Amino acid sequence: MFPALNMELEIVRTVLENDVNDIYVCSDLLKDTGVFYTMISIRDTGRRKIMAEKLNTDRMFFSNQDFIGSFVYESRLNLVFRYCHENLLSLLGGVYLAEFSDCRRAALNLAAACAECGAGPDLGCLLLDGRNINVTRDGDIQFNYFLDLSCMQEGVGEDVYLKKVAETVFGILELNYKGRYDSPENYPDDLRLFWLKMRTTGFSSIGHMISTLRAMSDKPVERRGILWWIGSRFRRAKGFLFRNSMSAFLTVLVTVTVVYAGVQIYTRMRARRAYESNVSYYGIEYIGNVYLGNEE
């Protein structure tokens, strides 16, 4: 039991234990409300110092409504968050987000949650792990805060974090299109443009990403018809040849060689058969009763 933060936290489940930190799901014995909490208990001295500096200097989690507080107990730094029921996006996204409008709303909620969590780039990347992202039936996004600090990389740049946020957001947006198209290049315009932006210049901020999501329509127009089909097949063939250029060259070379050899063999066999069927009459005087000689 941990008496702190006007609570008496009792461990009801152990999520993680390693040399750096433990993670527990706890209940408050003082308040029988049915609310649970996630507690990150940091034992590693180096990580404990880094996290303390982030809390005191960088005001980490200051704007996060899920963050209850921190306390030190038996030489460990403990962080306490509200626990959310684990309806993992990776498992239930395809069930709860049936329409693109649902996916768009969930993607907006994820981007907003990342902007409001106050975790910073290094912890933010950990927070975007699949085991930390929950989705509700209404498309709300909630975090678990199951942060394995042994995997934390210090000095992660803002650009790396924004790219990871964009990839996670795009994973939500494409839930109803992935598998129906050969590649994201063939997605409806709104999704394709988001994908191209993510892969090229990227987003300058989460606010920029949110503005892009808000500008999307609830029902993107899908390009269909014969021209779309021909273009799709052409891009597919072009992509295949580009990825397998050497194999395609060798295949064409072997095919041309086999065809050429077949034509030569056929031509020679045909000439030989013609030669063998041609009867030479030189030196023959009679064929049956017909005289072939010269008559004087």
**E strands in 58-183:** 67-73, 76-82, 133-135, 141-143
Alpha-carbon distance 201 to 183, whole Å? Answer: 20
Q: Per-residue pLDDT averaged across 237-247, rounded?
A: 62
The reported pLDDT for the residue numbered 269 is 79
Higher-pLDDT residue of 181 and 8 is 8
Q: For residue range 154-206, what is the model confidence (pLDDT) as tens digits?
A: 889 999 999 999 999 999 999 988 888 888 888 888 899 999 999 999 999 99
The reported pLDDT for the residue numbered 284 is 55
Distances (CA, A) of 118 to 63, 76, 113: 6, 22, 9
Question: Does position 224 have pLDDT exceeding 80, yes or no?
Answer: no
CB atoms < 10 A from the CB of 185, how many?
13
Percent of the chain with pLDDT over 70: 83
Q: Per-residue pLDDT averaged across 6-15, rounded?
A: 94
Band of residue 220 on the pLDDT scale cut at 50, 70, 90? confident
The reported pLDDT for the residue numbered 253 is 77
Question: Does position 4 have pLDDT exceeding 90, yes or no?
Answer: no
Return the axis-axis angle of helices 189-199 and 158-173, rounded to nearest 10°: 160
**E strands in 74-204:** 76-82, 133-135, 141-143
- On the 0-12 / 13-18 / 19+ scale of CB atoms within 10 A, 143 is buried
Q: For residue range 93-138, what is the model confidence (pLDDT) as tens digits?
A: 989 999 999 999 999 999 999 999 988 899 999 999 999 999 998 8
Question: Does position 295 have pLDDT exceeding 60, yes or no?
Answer: no
Question: Does position 275 have pLDDT exceeding 90, yes or no?
Answer: no
Q: Per-residue pLDDT averaged across 263-276, rounded?
A: 74
Estimate to the nearest angstrom the gap between the alpha carbon of 52 and the chain centroid: 34
Q: Per-residue pLDDT averaged across 67-90, rounded?
A: 93
Mean predicted lDDT score pLDDT of the chain: 85
Alpha-carbon distance 17 to 148, whole Å? Answer: 9
Distances (CA, A) of 2 to 19, 29, 45: 20, 10, 20
Alpha-carbon distance 71 to 90, whole Å? Answer: 32
Q: For residue range 33-52, what is the model confidence (pLDDT) as tens digits?
A: 889 999 999 999 999 999 99
Question: Does position 246 have pLDDT exceeding 80, yes or no?
Answer: no
**E strands in the chain:** 2-4, 7-17, 21-28, 36-42, 67-73, 76-82, 133-135, 141-143, 286-287, 290-291
Distances (CA, A) of 131 to 90, 96, 121: 8, 17, 18
The reported pLDDT for the residue numbered 175 is 92
The reported pLDDT for the residue numbered 18 is 95
Question: Does position 278 have pLDDT exceeding 70, yes or no?
Answer: no
The reported pLDDT for the residue numbered 226 is 58
